[in-house]
Amino acid sequence: MKPRRWSNPDNRLFPFQVGFTAPPHDFDAAPSDFLRIAPESVGVHGRMLHVPGYAHELRQRADHFHLLEEVVHCMANNGADVVGQVGTNWVHCNGSTPDDIRAFCDRLGEKYATPFHMAGMCLVEGLRALNAEKIAINSVYYWPDWRDGIARFLRQAGFDVLYCGNFVDQGFYATQEEVNALNWIFPGELAGRSMCRVAGQAPGADAVVVNGMPNWRRADGLPQRALSLLDDFEEAIGKPVVASDAALYWRIFKTLGVTPTKMPGCLLSSLA
């Protein structure tokens, strides 16, 4: 299904070509963050999903789940070697299990000769790579149905979820509406405080998960995702942190057989 011309290296802009797709109505940082830790031999191409009237509801994701195949098809036609999907809770929006998602990703990869990795499934694969069994989940900005859905999905993958809580559960905000109003960008000091609070709720956890794509403002006001803070997180709580963004990048680099130029956190550093 992939055009034959892409098998000729002379036709390619980069030796390694990565496609990303993200949920509608969000300018996604994943392509930029990924490139910042990739060697120059890697190029990135992005494609936004188009869902008119999108309001971040799980029902809308389930109704438009088929668009993911369209993305992989388009990226394969453009010569991508691998496609990464940003948006952790797409894996559970249909009530699907890890086995369902594994089969879905494998089917698309085989049909379009292009491996496809979903962020939520990469959490499962990353935790397994670290031999984690007991986990705590920092559900950050997640709405209650998102929080409960990813916890169910990870339990179905065989993990013992000792704790799962969002910023409201952790006591940092009074209502989910306050969290939503911040548009996924939070004060910088909340990052470490939240991680320590979650780790404190589950001292027996082998690893802490950060789901979704939260951003925290650094001192100069620039928002940063978990990728930039992984070393600080792991030093603060004394155990591995598997974040959705870093887990997705880890899986993509692993598929490409490419070593990133920067490897924050236990999972990415395993690629050294």
Domains along the sequence of the chain with CATH: 4-122+246-269 (3.40.50.12500), 132-243 (3.40.50.12500)
What would the mean pLDDT of 23-29 be, rounded to a whole number? Answer: 87
**Percent over 70 (pLDDT), the chain:** 100
Using alpha carbons, list the distances in angstroms from residue 155 to 11, 137, 138, 164, 243.
Answer: 44, 11, 15, 11, 17
What would the mean pLDDT of 180-200 be, rounded to a whole number? Answer: 97
pLDDT value at 55 more than 80: no
pLDDT for position 59:
85
pLDDT for position 26:
83
pLDDT for position 44:
98
Torsion of CA 84, 92, 146, 35, to 10 degrees: -10
**Is the Cα torsion angle 214, 220, 222, 224 positive or negative in sign?**
negative
Kindly report, residue by residue over 235-271, the tens digit of the pLDDT: 999 999 999 999 999 999 999 999 999 999 999 999 9
Kindly report, residue by residue over 94-139, the tens digit of the pLDDT: 999 999 999 999 999 999 999 999 999 999 999 999 999 999 999 9
What would the mean pLDDT of 45-71 be, rounded to a whole number? Answer: 88
Residues contacting residue 159 through CB under 8 Å, at least 6 positions apart: 124, 127, 132, 133, 134, 135
pLDDT class of 56 with cuts at 50, 70, 90: confident
